[in-house]
Structure 1
Amino acid sequence: MFKFRTDFNCCKTVNCENFGVVKSEDYIPQSRRLGYLSIECKLCGSNCPWINNELVNGIVKEKLDFQFARKLTHCPKCHQYFFFSERTDSKLHGFTSAGTQRKKCCACRTIYTVQNYKNIEALKLVLASIIANKEIRESIKASGLSARLYYFYLDKLSSIFANFSRLHEEEVMERSYLAMHTEGRVIKLDHKRGMYSLITSEVDSGYILLNSNNLTRQSVVDYYIYDESENTIITSNESDNLENVLTNRYQQNMSRNHFEQLLVGELKPVTKCNLIYPDKLAYIHFQLLNAFSRKADKYDHYIEHESTLRSGALMAAYEDIKKSNADVYFFVPFLNSREKLQGKKIGWWKDRWFSNELGAICPITCKLTDSADIKLHHSDSIDLFYTYIDQHMNKGINSINVIDQLSEIHRVIFNYCDLKNNTTRAITLGVAPQVYTPESLLQDALKMIMS
């Protein structure tokens, strides 16, 4: 089983000897020198905001169980998760009294039952209601199912699509090189409810690998519950000058109480859950991305120009960065700029920025001499997915379970069914042999899981 990082209170200055080192003698733990709780590194002078490790690690487990759990295939005891636990073999072991196939794990000897879906028609009805984007009450009424059964089959549909997707992703993620792109978006629902989501795509295909939100079922003390009306998200600049856009972004960042203070305006939580601050979600999301990056010999990560994301990305990739197996970059989209940045120093920290036809790129963990080294060739996948979610997500939902289930169903449909240049992102990534409709996707997913 893969071991997640459990302590995030350390220096996050890449060139400092204490970078990623926990409990250094150079630290002043829980310093308030700059007016906020931080860990101060006397060696480089940085003050990284203090992180509640217990909170982050608890929600990592919660998100892991939903995003990567093998609920439908393989041994439930020793092969619980896609990517994070090693696959085990099994052998046929008779049938249940109802005639359902049983298997026995060759590693731990656990006997488990192969999934068998008898009411496939109910799954099709629920899928049709999602595609039609009807209100939940309308969907339940149109399906002819009781409310209890509707939610039961919605959960099953989410698991089927997720397991189908992850099974294929496992097959192609072991590679020599991987490039990922991550940005954050606010998804608004009715009555001022909503969530902040981090979305990551595979660069070459635009395939959405992971979509995480800051909703949690965990009990959270009031101090860590998001309850803000202010908005510190860096706003778009209408300037047609790329350097002015970047300078303005730094100025907006400097106006915060501290650099990781990302506030996303007023968001009311849905029922029976809590909202956490976006900076905590960053540590969680990037930890989960190790599912994909750990399968690659070398990887690059292009992240939104946001200090909150920088810290999460660095801590998740710390060991690979130290081994020169991973690099992290800021990226700001800016199409067809007339100017060419070639290592221009911009901002408080004199960061070096480069540009190409897609936008501006700043290396965080390495040095560049030319922007030609940049492997980011597509930059609109996250915007397209966000637009897709905004158009297809039911705005009236008020349940964390339904939000998570619909988000995952839409992630898979977007990857396997939504067309761009007459093909799908799943085909380009190499996880699908054909263009699917949602209905044919369900049909093939059921065949794979039940076999």
Structure 2
Amino acid sequence: MLTLFTINTCKSFGCRNLGLPISASADYSWPDYRLGYPALHCRACGSYPPLFDEQQFNEWLSAHLSAYASENGHFCPECYCNKTICYGHNPRGTQRVQCRVCKKVWTPKQQNQRKIVPPERIETVPLIVPFQGRSAEQKLYVLLSFDAASGNILHISTNFTQHYIGETLRYRWRGNIEPDLHHSNIVTRVDMRETQFLRRSQFDEIQYGSAVLKRNARGAILRPVIAAHGHFRVLSLLFPDVKRHVISHECFLRGAVITVWADLFRQRQGELWFLEEEINDSDINIPWNFQGTTQHGWWQGQWQLWVQKKNRKMVCSLTGGVSNNAETLSLTASRHFIQWLYQQTIFTHSAQLSAGRVTQILHSLAHDYNEKRVIKETGCGSQK
């Protein structure tokens, strides 16, 4: 039986319907075309989140999660429960795992996995990476999530998928890329990005560039919003109780995080922050100075401006988080990894490789990066 995942739901913090599926609230009406696209109208808070084809989403996500679980063994590929035990070995001597809930037994492809330590704060940013498709310089949408304290990579995903997808989940390039925002004034940059959201056909329908696979290539390119829901669903199964999230300034990342951890946010036990940074000197080690607040965008979010000599950051609480926490927030973990990533020759040649191969390389490099960090921190490297 297909496990149902909620994607069509109210995504407004503070609303009584946050995270509740269509069948669970009399406040919903659908489809509503008031904003020019089919939406779910929540009468309790007045929001209009876009509607998705839930059957197609569930079919893809079930395959995505089962494949991840079979590969890594961190949760069950059948019921997705993260309570597992070692269950002997197969005839080749490889460790088997059993789910404590549904009793499913399987052999993870990756063995000797280090125990995952739950993070106090997850930091997530996107990255656009070129690949070789039907023509040169096709682009993948990549999501990177980190333990903000340790700097370890928790999960990497791209919007390339090997699984079958319905047509409503497929990324459609319309030839009108959203411009990169490099305004010298960080406050203006935040405002421009909010304006950019409003210019989309719907809030989550990003146009980030062409992403056409080679003719007859296996797999497909997902809409980034779908990839984001899959990305955070994996993280929520690994870390169901994490309460603090920092994300790049992208509205559909907010929607995916708040949907996946809706129970915590509905109980007001979670914090979700937008963060925009401008780091000109990463060696500065003095306190940040608060400069004031401004309001931006459709939702008139309140952003705090902080300055640290040549560095500036804008922080926006999306779920009523403690304002004093803003000073400690950063995207340092992602910045360090991305700098390291561009020093890796195999990555810098991604434009010559297929989308599937680039995805594999990113996972491999993430593993190497984490391993090198462990060796550096513990001093366990071999000596010759």
TM-score interval, normalised by the smaller of the two chains: 0.7 to 0.9
Q: Cα gap change, 1:28/1:68 in structure 2, threshold over 3 Å: closer, same or farther?
A: same
Q: 1:85 aligns to what?
A: 82
* Pick aligned residue for 1:284 from 226, 230, 234: 230
* Pick aligned residue for 1:262 from 191, 206, 211: 206
Amino acid at match of 2:223: Y
Cα deviation 1:137-177 (Å, max 9, x = unaligned): xxxxxxxxxxxxxxxxxxxxxx54xx44xx2142x23xxx6
Q: Retained in 1: the 8 A contact 2:129–2:350? A: no
Amino acid at match of 2:352: G
Residue 320 (structure 2) pairs with residue 366 (structure 1): yes
Higher helix share goes to which structure?
Answer: 1
Q: Retained in 2: the 8 A contact 1:342–1:354? A: yes
Amino acid at match of 2:318: I
Q: Retained in 1: the 8 A contact 2:40–2:48? A: yes
Q: Cα gap change, 1:389/1:180 in structure 2, threshold over 3 Å: closer, same or farther?
A: farther
Q: Retained in 2: the 8 A contact 1:343–1:368? A: no
Mapped partners of 2:103, 2:144: distance in 1: 38
Q: 2:194 aligns to what?
A: 250
Q: Calculate percent identity across the aligned residue pairs.
A: 18
Q: Cα gap change, 1:266/1:80 in structure 2, threshold over 3 Å: closer, same or farther?
A: closer
Q: Cα gap change, 1:79/1:347 in structure 2, threshold over 3 Å: closer, same or farther?
A: closer
Q: Cα gap change, 1:272/1:34 in structure 2, threshold over 3 Å: closer, same or farther?
A: same
Offset, 1:112:
8.5
Stretches of structure 2 that go unaligned for 5 or more consecutive residues are 282-287
Mapped partners of 2:315, 2:82: distance in 1: 35
Mapped partners of 2:123, 2:77: distance in 1: 27
Q: 1:396 aligns to what?
A: 352
Amino acid at match of 1:220: I
- Which residues in structure 2 correspond to 1:41-440 (within 5 Å)? 41-70=42-71, 84-91=81-88, 100-101=92-93, 159-160=109-110, 163-164=111-112, 167-170=113-116, 172-173=117-118, 178-190=120-132, 191-192=135-136, 193-233=138-178, 235-239=180-184, 241-270=185-214, 271-294=217-240, 296=241, 298-335=242-279, 340-356=290-306, 357=308, 359-372=313-326, 374-376=328-330, 378=332, 380-381=335-336, 383-384=338-339, 387=342, 392=347, 394-398=350-354, 400=356, 402-417=357-372, 424=373, 426=374, 434-435=380-381
Q: Retained in 2: the 8 A contact 1:102–1:112? A: no
Mapped partners of 1:308, 1:214: distance in 2: 14
Q: Cα gap change, 1:195/1:109 in structure 2, threshold over 3 Å: closer, same or farther?
A: closer
Mapped partners of 2:340, 2:189: distance in 1: 24
Mapped partners of 1:112, 1:307: distance in 2: 38
Offset, 1:317:
1.1
SS at match of 1:272: coil
Q: Retained in 2: the 8 A contact 1:31–1:40? A: yes
Offset, 1:204:
1.6
Q: Retained in 1: the 8 A contact 2:125–2:144? A: yes
Stretches of structure 1 that go unaligned for 5 or more consecutive residues are 116-158, 418-423, 441-451
Q: Retained in 2: the 8 A contact 1:229–1:267? A: no
Q: Cα gap change, 1:63/1:218 in structure 2, threshold over 3 Å: closer, same or farther?
A: closer
Offset, 1:386:
5.2
Mapped partners of 2:337, 2:179: distance in 1: 17
Offset, 1:17:
2.2
Mapped partners of 2:342, 2:97: distance in 1: 43
Offset, 1:182:
0.9
Mapped partners of 1:45, 1:112: distance in 2: 46
- Bigger Cα Rg: 1
Offset, 1:42:
2.1
SS at match of 2:315: strand
Given the two structures, how large is their TM-score scaled by the length of structure 2? 0.80
Given the two structures, how large is their TM-score scaled by the length of structure 1? 0.69
